[in-house]
Chain A
Amino acid sequence: GEDVEQSLFLSVREGDSSVINCTYTDSSSTYLYWYKQEPGAGLQLLTYIFSNMDMKQDQRLTVLLNKKDKHLSLRIADTQTGDSAIYFCAETPGRDDKIIFGKGTRLHILP
């Protein structure tokens, strides 16, 4: 079946790098996504990676994909207080737009 797993909490000191990890089960996944949700708001697409790539970098964000291990990570460099949010890993399994989400990782920034 389709399943996306991620740890529920992460605490990081301001200025350090944050690494949020995610595993998925469907080997036919085409796109993998990272979404950010701030309190009371909808989801903001942060970045996505096509399954034939292994890395994508966009300013402070680096996505790493290990397709063999079905492992996806999001690294946020120089973490700021504004990065405090819930980060959802998601995948689209196969050829349709249905998207499967993980439970989200709450990122807490320590002063």
Chain B
Amino acid sequence: EAQVTQNPRYLITVTGKKLTVTCSQNMNHEYMSWYRQDPGLGLRQIYYSMNVEVTDKGDVPEGYKVSRKEKRNFPLILESPSPNQTSLYFCASRAIGSGLAKNIQYFGAGTRLSVL
């Protein structure tokens, strides 16, 4: 089954304690992206990656890091989490290229993070 898998689904942590949210896709997609969703603000892109070892900032990258060492994995790293990073996080992937199907993004189920 084609899917994007995020872990953990729920996470409560304290300010300053480094954490990593993993994301893995099994569709051989080149493009992967992280979003955060906050009430009234919709989805905002944090970082994205066009392929292995190619990453770039989205709209709200401050306080986050990513890496893309393998095509299927795109972890999100919070080196020193702060309460304003409490949010619902989504990983997404899509293929790159021509054709309608390659414009569609597939989302993970989300990670609800609370930073105390």
| Bind each other | no
Q: Which residues does B use to contact A, with CB under 8 Å?
A: none
